[in-house]
Structure 1
Amino acid sequence: MNDILQLKGHFEQRRNPNRPGPRNLPAGQTVKVSHLIDLRNQLIDLVEFWKDKTLFSKALVSVHYTDVVAKSNRIKDLLSESVNGANDSIVGAKFSETEDTVRHIITHCIKQETLKKSISDLNTCIDILNSQFDGKISVETIEQINRNIISIEGLPKTKFVSIIVDSHYVDYFGIEKDIDPIENRSVITLFRTDVRSIEIMRKIGISETKLQQLDDITFVMNPDQFDILREQVPYLVAMSVSDITEIPSVDFEKEKYIDSEFPIPEPTNEPVVGVIDTHFDKSVYFSDWVEYVNSMSKELPIEVQDYDHGTMVTSIIVDGPALNPRLEDNCGRFRVRHFGVAKKGRNNSSTIMREIKKIVSENKDIKVWNLSLGSELEISKNFISPEAAILDQIQVENDVVFVVSGTNKSEEENGEKRLGSPADSINSIVVNSVDFEGNPAAYSRVGPVLSFFNKPDLCYYGGTNEDRITVYAPYGKAKTYGTSFAAPWITRKMAFLIYKMGQTREVAKALLIDSAAGWKKTLLASKIAGYGIVPKDITKIIQSEDDEIRFVISDISELFDTYNFNIPIPVYQDTQPFIAKATLCYFPRCARNQGVDYTETELDLHFGRIKDDSIKPINNNIQNDEGMHFLKEGRARQLYRKWDNIKLVGEELKDSPRARKVYGDGRWGISLKTKERLNYDKRPINFGLVITLKELNGQNRLSEFIHLCSLRGWLVNRINIENQIDVFNKAEQDVEFE
């Protein structure tokens, strides 16, 4: 086995050199005056609707697009109130799905005068089309206008063209007000307007003293309160989700046990993992390894069964391999700081969310957290749950990672069932379960999230009804199953990689994804198994086969293009006998009020050979090839995972693979192109990249690669288990000063 390498070198940073050219329609498209008339009339109807609404002065307008639209194809002049275009006024986004199509619906909050101005501009464009272009305009005509071959009167040419292009991508304008009632206490998020949401609640008769507010636009409401909201201002409701998290009883089988079966030494300097769950029973044999904190209100009684789930989960993190020798992972034992935040049965999600935020902020020393709680209700297709949004925010702000169970469905439920919150957390590692033969467990639920994001991320052995996981409960050893007991095994591996191997959370996550995916024919994630099953033994993750070169890179993307064209790949007989794959992970900021457009930052990965001073990507990524290709947003998301925070690109390992042609001196390159969804300046973002090269002739070329990298200025470090653990142990030793 080869050690994985850590490469440290200099990445160049540059701003986007390309400036957008004149706007135009897609090839072969036209816009007819009848469509502009329809759009104008819809805006006139909206002016009429909003003119007598007095709770706030602005207007909410939903733009129904003809497709999933890229940021560059969203409306720019229609509904615009700033030099940045209409993007600044977006307050929500969702998808409209049919059997054949997926389309964007993006909601704006604008001044009513802006509505009237857009109507006036459309009237002018209608007059121009009728008087100068016989009621229809084409790509070729717009090209002539852009080149000043044809002149127009009534509007500046750039504005006229922009409104025509805006209109092409818009199906119609409307208001979102078809709101279903709620049956239980729920978390309600409103569209942001120019008036504080709490003031609007007061004006429509919902007392703020009886209203729990999570943030400036999110409230916890009972059905009676929501009925008032739904009756008076249905157009203000952006999203709603139940506030009830149902924690079912654990299905377990007690075993006859003897404490001496599980001798355990006293803890020393082992890493500390955070567990947020139901409560922990301090009478178990490994209690010295666990610091337990009751984070619930002291007024709430804790019953015997409230200790079961949390104690079982923590038993795996502390001493899982002793309980399950067939799942020996060589990660050792871990100490746990266990926070009891829930009871068996019904819990308020909003209370748990608030407590989790407080717990993480007060325990900065913990970098890896296990959360094996989840809702029985399915996630929405159009927005992230409040619980998941809190986890995503916490991870961005605190440099931590959550490992979350993929939630279970009951034996009585047939067919597919979508994941339950917070398994829709985009930044978290979401884990589903497989049996010991590697088949998806019958109780596992399915992704994706927001109709796009690959969830779950990974799967692991969580047992089945017939072949269960061994855990330790308050009453002794027990047999059970569920995604709750698959996730802690991944938590152990993340803790090992971060604490003992010294890797960043981005690299550690990428290593797990990379190891699970292997060299499959397809690198797309499964909606039930994620990228695959993580190897049991940690050495399989931090070592590679003798014919493989695997190296990790972590750095910061600061500008539009973060690149290095200086990776030397060995050459043999005038070819490069390798296939390659690359896994990229990063933790983007997210905005729940943006609905399906949830992640704010996109890192577009280009990796491959250097040809003519540019990268020839191994996955033929044509994004950012200006002027050469037209790629629809939906296809970019499907082919290149645009806006996903995990990118896995690579090649299939075929029966008779061919060596690569060498370009120039054989260098390869990496380029990360950064896009911000909203009109923010580029914000630095950490990334972790794992690259694997497989030698097609079975030769070990690791030493040659290290030599070539050293010659090109890379600092190369072998990630060796024994050496890294020695470093960890010495760093954790107490130093006494005389």
Structure 2
Amino acid sequence: MNNVLELKGKRFVQESKKGNGGGAAINSKVVVTNNHVKKLQSKLQSLREFWMNEDKPFSGILISVHYNKIVAKTNRISGLFKGDQSNYAIVGAKFNTEKTKHIITYFLEDVDIEDSIKLLENVSKVLTIYFTDGISKEVFEQKILFDRIDFKKYFLSKTLFRQIVADVSYIDDFEVEMARKHDKESIITLFDIGVDVKSVFNKIGIDILSSRILDNRTVYLDENQMNLLYEKAPYLVAMATENLSDLSPDDFIEEYESDITSIPNPGIEPTIGVIDTLFDKRVYFSKWVEYHDMVDDNIPKGQNDYRHGTAVSSIIVDGPKMNPWLDDGCGRFKVRHFGVAAGAQFSSFTIIKLIKIIIESNKDIKVWNISLGSNQEINDNFISAEAAVLDQIQHENDVIFVVAGTNKSREDVNKIGSPADSINSMVVNAVTKSGLSTKYSRKGLALSFFAKPDVSYYGGSEEQYIQVCEPLGATFVAGTSFAAPWIARKLAYLIDVLGLNREIAKALIIDAARGWNDAPTPEEVALYGHGIVPIKITDIIQTPEDEIRFLVTDVSEKWNTYNYHFPIPLKADTYPYYARATMCYFPLCDRAQGVDYTNTELNLHFGRIQDDGKLNEINDDKQNLDDIGESRSYILEGDARERFRKWDNVKYIAEKVKDRRVPKKSYRNKNWGMEIKTNNRLDPEDGVGLRFGVVVTIKEMYGINRIDEFIKNCNLNGWLVNAIDIQNRIEIHEKINEEIRFD
């Protein structure tokens, strides 16, 4: 077996983007006609009158644009509302029922709408005189036709006219969205209207306590307050989820064994954080658990409230002892356990606030396990409030959450429940011992696009249950709650023992689950994520002798972050390899943006360096090319999301391993290159300083071990090569954590 290699010492180079993107681009499948422009003008006028006559608790206007497709950032309105500042007026985004079109909500001033109506009126005049048959893509590209028009007569410039036409080509309609009423107490998120949330509710007649405000847009309302809000201002509600969550059920076998073997005292083992139900201090491994009860003393606590949390912590501490078939080679872990829920029902709002406090007060813990989950299904158009908090915490702090994929409570509940829609977290579904999806597993995706769950692991089934320790002794269980802790163990081993950062650790686990397998179907991703993680930690950090696996990590500062110094060994001036790469990062997310949730996109490019200096991509990705004019660089937004996982924070690119082996030709530059292209939806600074981790595997076509040659080439190219030798890393970990006594 070959050890995985860390490459350090040669920083990635940062490069700003060239050019401004080539100007306005019309929808190629649409002809912009005068009738359509007039229809949109009339609709805007009607909506303006609606808002003028509405007794609303804020100044401004909310208007939703119904686009005619899933639009890229560059195809959103950028002339009609607030010019090139229109993108900053977006306060929400969702898909239509069929998930084929964007519906994006803007917060505007009345003067913006007045200006937009005049713009459409002036554009209509030009179309009436000069473009009676409308403007198609072919007409739009004949710039000489526009040069003959005196646009000043119509209070327009040529550039503005073309931009408005381009905007209109992507718009079906304008509307005011009215939220569907919730009958129960809920966590409500309002559109960002630039006004203090307490002030808004006071004007509506709702007296909201400060303790029920999560942030300046998200609050917890009881049933009466909900009714009043929907009666007076339903257009303010961006998102709503019921506050009381039923705990996602797990199977417990009601048979206990009390003769569990003893356990040594803890030493320098790493600590994993657990946020769960209560923990019973009477169990045999209690010395390994530092317990904090966060549940209000006024809430009654019964024996059953200690079962789930105690069982989860028992896997983290001593799982392999109780389940020899799942011995991962990671040893034991200490646990800092925070009991945040008692009973089958709990307040999501309360837990959100507690999680923030817990993480802030326990900065030394890098890996956190959350096996709590809601029985309610996630929403297709927005991330849950719980998941959004986890994503924010992970972007701002050097931590990673492992979240259970939630279980079915009944047959009509199929989609995963919060917080398993957390994009930055590692979400884990369960499989049987045979590797098949369990009958209790629920399905992703999140926001109809993001690959959730991330991975799958063994969670117990009738074929082979998971043994855990509960307050009454050892018993057997099944559920995604008992699959997640095994992945938390692996992450903690990679981060705390082997010294890898969380980006690399997450990428290693996903890469190991995916392997060289064919791309999974959307249905397979919804159940299994990227695949089943190997049991043994050695199968993650070692490779067969015909493979070379190396790790690189850096931060993105500009549009292109690149490194052209990967010296893949040659054989007869060719490369006899298949290649794959997995990248992970933890972007800033914005729940108010709905389906356009992640603010930053990092796109991974890897391959040989051609004689023209461009990369010969291993996955033929033509996004983000420097030459905007190249026709091959144009990829529809929907296709980019489906084929290249655009906006997803996990990237996997790979060549297919084929029976017919054809080595790749080499170019003048004998190195391979990697480029990380950065795009931001809103603020250009969102992606600055964003760390990424990439795992690259190259497989020799003829089974030859070339790792020594690769290490030699790397040293000659200025890389510092560190082999991840388990025993060596353990010794370093022990040395760093040993207690020094002074006489």
Q: Equivalents in 1 of 2:411, 2:487: separation in Å?
A: 27
> Deviation at 1:57?
1.7
What's the TM-score once normalised by structure 2's chain length? Answer: 0.96
> Deviation at 1:557?
0.8
The equivalent of 2:712 in structure 1 is 707
Equivalent runs, 1:279-678 vs 2, <5 Å: 279-410=278-409, 412-413=410-411, 417-522=414-519, 526-611=525-610, 612-625=612-625, 626-628=628-630, 629=632, 630-678=634-682
Cα 1:116/1:696, change in 2 over 3 Å: same
> Deviation at 1:302?
1.7
The amino acid of 1:188's aligned partner reads: I
Q: Equivalents in 2 of 1:189, 1:722: separation in Å?
A: 50
The equivalent of 1:136 in structure 2 is 134
Q: Equivalents in 2 of 1:643, 1:122: separation in Å?
A: 33
SS at 1:341 equivalent: strand
> Would the aligned equivalents of 2:250 and 2:481 in 1 still touch at CA under 8 Å?
no
Q: Does 1:127 align with 2:125?
A: yes
SS at 2:284 equivalent: coil
- Cα distance per residue 1:432-461 (max 9 Å; x no partner): 000000001111000100011000000000
Instruction: Specify every segment of 5 or more residues in structure 1 that has no aligned partner in the other structure, as ranges.
Output: none
Q: Equivalents in 2 of 1:636, 1:326: separation in Å?
A: 41
* Equivalent position to 2:689, from 671, 678, 684: 684
> Would the aligned equivalents of 1:22 and 1:146 in 2 still touch at CA under 8 Å?
no
> Deviation at 1:254?
4.2
Q: Does 1:41 align with 2:42?
A: yes
Cα 1:252/1:148, change in 2 over 3 Å: closer
- Cα distance per residue 1:196-232 (max 9 Å; x no partner): 2322211222122498211111111122211111111
Cα 1:616/1:133, change in 2 over 3 Å: same
> Deviation at 1:27?
4.3
Calculate percent identity across the aligned residue pairs: 47
SS at 1:131 equivalent: helix
- Cα distance per residue 1:234-260 (max 9 Å; x no partner): 11111111111212665322445343x
The amino acid of 1:221's aligned partner reads: L
Equivalent runs, 1:234-313 vs 2, <5 Å: 234-247=234-247, 250-255=250-255, 257-259=257-259, 261-313=260-312
Q: Equivalents in 2 of 1:156, 1:734: separation in Å?
A: 73
> Would the aligned equivalents of 1:578 and 1:694 in 2 still touch at CA under 8 Å?
yes
Cα 1:488/1:146, change in 2 over 3 Å: farther
> Would the aligned equivalents of 1:211 and 1:219 in 2 still touch at CA under 8 Å?
no
The amino acid of 1:16's aligned partner reads: K
Q: Equivalents in 2 of 1:97, 1:721: separation in Å?
A: 51
> Would the aligned equivalents of 1:254 and 1:476 in 2 still touch at CA under 8 Å?
no
SS at 2:539 equivalent: helix
The equivalent of 1:733 in structure 2 is 738
> Deviation at 1:328?
0.5
Cα 1:480/1:520, change in 2 over 3 Å: same
The equivalent of 2:199 in structure 1 is 199
Cα 1:89/1:706, change in 2 over 3 Å: same
- Cα distance per residue 1:58-88 (max 9 Å; x no partner): 00000100000000000001111x6x33101
What's the TM-score once normalised by structure 1's chain length? Answer: 0.97
* Equivalent position to 2:729, from 715, 724, 727: 724
Cα 1:323/1:44, change in 2 over 3 Å: same
SS at 1:102 equivalent: coil
> Would the aligned equivalents of 2:66 and 2:175 in 1 still touch at CA under 8 Å?
yes
> Deviation at 1:679?
2.9
- The 10-residue stretch of structure 1 (131-140 or 502-511) with the greater mean CA deviation from structure 2: 131-140
- The 10-residue stretch of structure 1 (502-511 or 519-528) with the greater mean CA deviation from structure 2: 519-528
The amino acid of 2:714's aligned partner reads: C
Cα 1:660/1:107, change in 2 over 3 Å: same
The amino acid of 2:738's aligned partner reads: Q
Instruction: Specify every segment of 5 or more residues in structure 2 that has no aligned partner in the other structure, as ranges.
Output: none
The equivalent of 1:67 in structure 2 is 69
Q: Equivalents in 2 of 1:274, 1:209: separation in Å?
A: 31
The equivalent of 1:88 in structure 2 is 88
> Deviation at 1:140?
3.9
SS at 1:526 equivalent: helix
Q: Equivalents in 2 of 1:523, 1:18: separation in Å?
A: 37
> Deviation at 1:381?
0.2
> Deviation at 1:555?
0.8
The equivalent of 2:149 in structure 1 is 151
Q: Equivalents in 2 of 1:374, 1:137: separation in Å?
A: 52
Q: Equivalents in 1 of 2:192, 2:462: separation in Å?
A: 47
Q: How many positions carry a matched residue from both structures?
A: 730
SS at 2:528 equivalent: coil
- The 10-residue stretch of structure 1 (15-24 or 38-47) with the greater mean CA deviation from structure 2: 15-24
Q: Does 1:24 align with 2:10?
A: no
> Deviation at 1:31?
1.1
SS at 2:225 equivalent: helix
> Deviation at 1:182?
1.7
Q: Equivalents in 1 of 2:595, 2:249: separation in Å?
A: 33
SS at 1:329 equivalent: coil
Cα 1:380/1:146, change in 2 over 3 Å: farther
> Would the aligned equivalents of 2:256 and 2:472 in 1 still touch at CA under 8 Å?
no
Q: Equivalents in 1 of 2:74, 2:549: separation in Å?
A: 37
SS at 1:36 equivalent: helix
Q: Equivalents in 2 of 1:482, 1:107: separation in Å?
A: 39
- Cα distance per residue 1:480-517 (max 9 Å; x no partner): 10000000000000000000010000000000000000
The amino acid of 2:728's aligned partner reads: N
* Equivalent position to 1:115, from 113, 116, 119: 113
Q: Equivalents in 2 of 1:357, 1:146: separation in Å?
A: 59
SS at 1:134 equivalent: coil
Q: Does 1:56 align with 2:19?
A: no
The amino acid of 1:395's aligned partner reads: Q
After superposition, the CA RMSD in angstroms is 1.6
> Would the aligned equivalents of 1:517 and 1:523 in 2 still touch at CA under 8 Å?
no
Q: Does 1:11 align with 2:3?
A: no
> Deviation at 1:523?
5.5
> Deviation at 1:185?
1.5
- The 10-residue stretch of structure 1 (639-648 or 623-632) with the greater mean CA deviation from structure 2: 623-632
The amino acid of 1:442's aligned partner reads: K
The equivalent of 2:700 in structure 1 is 695
Q: Equivalents in 2 of 1:565, 1:210: separation in Å?
A: 53
